[in-house]
Amino acid sequence: MITSFLLRSLDRSIVTVVAILLGLAVAIPALNLLTAPDHPLHVPTYLVSLFGKYLTYALLALALDLVWGFCGILSLGHAAFFALGGYAMGMYLMRQIGARGSYGNPMLPDFMVFLNWKELPWFWQGFDMFWFAALMVVLVPGLLAFVFGWFAFRSRVNGVYLSIITQAMTYALLLAFFRNDMGFGGNNGLTDFKDILGFNIQAPGTRAALFAASAVTLALCLVLTTAIVRSKYGKVLVAVRDAESRTRFLGYRVEHIKLFAFTVSAMMAGIAGALYVPQVGIINPGEFEPGNSIEVVIWTAVGGRGTLIGPIVGAILVNGGKSIFTAAFPEFWLFALGGLFVFVTLFLPKGVVGTVSAYLARRKAHRRAADAENARDNLVAEPMAAE
Amino acid sequence: MIQTINQTKPKSLLYLDGVSVSFDGFKALNSLSFVIEPGELRAIIGPNGAGKTTMMDIITGKTRPDEGQVFFKGDIDLTQRDEAEIANLGIGRKFQKPTVFESHTIWDNLELALNRRRGVFPTLFYRLTADDKARIEEILSTVRLSARRDDLAANLSHGQKQWLEIGMLLAQEPELLLVDEPVAGMTDAETAETAILLKEIARTRSVVVVEHDMGFIRELGVKVTCLAEGSVLAEGSIDFVSSDPKVIENYLGR
């Protein structure tokens, strides 16, 4: 049942994007590992990690699109779920360091030794096991989203008020994680990772594998979100976005409908964060910065809200632009980003992907009409000509 | 008076007794009482601010009354339930301004309204069955929108949106239908057709129509309740109500 649920709603554009992602998952690692450094097609390891980072951002934007594009919940706190997933992965990576830290303590990470802690806090237990950390990557953001959403949606907090409290949520987490007593490394966060699943985290092979994992995960999540939004539940989501009280008077529990999407979305954001941390090598409270969540909204808007493919394209375009821009004209990047958002809002309200697909649909309708006309003119009575 | 209303309570479909509600000191409903029988088609008239929409809000769970009782099917207390629960009990509501899902097709609008399980997981794994398909086809032809099933609801005319919304209410299969100004903004021909449609619907369920259009109410030919300042002013046939001096003074005369 699950397979048919996942597969029945795929269309050509989604299949194409999934195929591209799976192709990249093979091609980029191959070009990195199998070609000599002076080969013209060689992809250096730093680029592999950079592209991998873009893909985790794309996954975060996809997660946001599920709630914002389809249900109208403008969450300005999605970076918090991303960071929580990242911290869960970071804790696993810290425990993998073992006695190789500067203080050589086999149990405690360096920052705890530095703070004179004698034993591992209870919430660090279990993170030496990958499966446990992987579970926490989805459970912690999922649980936070569930509890937060439960109260917010039940009290019918909507629109800009909801956006503001999601900002408050991520800001509160930022302040909390800055404190040393919280036990998450305070200001410095978690870093100096050595191994993941027994492999050296710096090795090109591991980097390539992390890239491939990011691409495959993004493809799987794209299939999952497509299945969700094309199901009847997805239609209810859009119904809530367009006419919430009508949906309620039809007998749908709007708060449950929103809560499910919000929780699934937060879990996907957590997975994105968990893939991000080993590729950039650090997680610190800066990831909770309110501005980060707003940037995700910009990526999604640029790519095209409510299109699923749009946020992926948007995240890669904007972050690619950011990498190039900040190297070439570092002081102008923020102006460029702000200008881009204004431009897209004014001139491409459907985003890049939305605009292109609207253009293609129009051209197709046009051609169909022209064909039908020709068929009439030529008095060809074949129904096939109208196709 | 109290005694008679208590006797009718178990048999009634909808029963309001002494319902009052005020907003910021303004008494929107002032001890409103009336009863709808199963299978009844009832028209409600009254000047602006008489409390017609507030009454619908109370019945459908959008607003809680300050005092008074609201019972559905004899013993279901509506004041303790929220909109979704009340909708699932079998009370459908049509808004004053036509409200349909504009970015969905006509077909999807009806599919969403169809009386099926409405939880997250049932909808996630829902598949359109032959029965459901037939039911949607049937409603499409009842509201005369069969030819436009694949068009977006946003592209319908005002009158067609009103009809689609009525179709959605039918798909919900309610026992009681509350219809707020169904012919506002309709042409005369559409109005006449809507009267026929509502009478057809009322054969299998109770319908309460709030309307300003006296011609339309005459066409319906049913019992009329006139509200003013939050309570019932007069009740009876259209001729009886419209000859009542209080009604003329409060409503018709203006």
CB A177 within 8 A of CB A184: yes
pLDDT of residue A385: 41
Kindly list the residues of chain B whose beta carbon comes within 8 Å of any beta carbon in chain A. Answer: 60, 62, 83-84, 87-88, 92-93, 95, 99-104, 108, 111-113, 118-120, 123-126, 168, 172
- CA B188, CA A181: separation in Å to the nearest integer? 74
- Closest Cα in chain A to B59: A249
Radius of gyration of chain B (CA): 19
CB A70 within 8 A of CB A261: yes
Three-state DSSP at A384 gives helix
pLDDT of residue B1: 46
pLDDT(B112) > 80: yes
Which two three-digit tokens encode residue A257? Answer: 């409908």
Check A243 against B111: CB less than 8 A apart.
no
What's the whole-number mean pLDDT along residues B133-143? 94
What's the whole-number mean pLDDT along residues B110-117? 94
pLDDT of residue A386: 41
A192-245 pLDDT, tens digit each: 999 999 999 999 999 999 999 999 999 999 999 999 999 999 999 999 999 999
- CA B249, CA A41: separation in Å to the nearest integer? 89
CB A89 within 8 A of CB A97: no
Q: Which of A242, A249, A260 sits opposite B101 (nearest CB)?
A: A242
Residue B135's pLDDT band (boundaries 50, 70, 90)?
Answer: very high
Most confident of A3-7, A180-184, A207-211: A207-211
On chain A, the residues whose CB falls within 8 A of the CB of B58 are: none
Check B95 against A246: CB less than 8 A apart.
yes
Half-sphere exposure of A71 (CA within 13 A, CB side): 29
CB A259 within 8 A of CB A67: no
Q: Which amino acid is present at A213?
A: A
DSSP A304-317: -TTSSHHHHHHHHH
Residue A384's pLDDT band (boundaries 50, 70, 90)?
Answer: very low
Most confident of A155-169, B66-80, B87-101, B186-200: A155-169
DSSP A154-188: HTT--HHHHHHHHHHHHHHHHHHHHSGGGSS-GGG
What residue ranges of chain B are covered by domains with CATH 3.40.50.300? 1-89+222-254, 97-216
Q: Which amino acid is present at B252?
A: L
pLDDT(A178) > 70: yes
Q: Is the pTM of this model over 0.80?
A: yes
Report the topology of domain B1-89+222-254: Rossmann fold (3.40.50)
Average pLDDT score over chain B: 88
Residue carrying the six token digits 């969450």: A75
Share of chain A above pLDDT 70, in %: 97
pLDDT of residue B7: 62
Smallest CA-to-CA distance from A80 within A100, A60, A66, A96 is with: A60
On chain A, the residues whose CB falls within 8 A of the CB of B113 are: 250
For the ranges A287-296, B51-60, B191-200, the lowest mean pLDDT is seen at: B191-200
Share of chain A above pLDDT 90, in %: 77
- B73 by Cβ neighbours in 10 Å (0-12 / 13-18 / 19+) ranks as middle
- Closest Cα in chain B to A244: B101
pLDDT of residue B5: 53
pLDDT(A380) > 60: no
Reported ipTM: the value is: 0.89
CATH superfamily, region B97-216: P-loop containing nucleotide triphosphate hydrolases (3.40.50.300)
Residue B123's pLDDT band (boundaries 50, 70, 90)?
Answer: very high
A31-46 pLDDT, tens digit each: 999 998 888 899 999 9
A243: distance to nearest CA of chain B, Å?
6
Residue B105's pLDDT band (boundaries 50, 70, 90)?
Answer: very high
Share of chain B above pLDDT 70, in %: 95
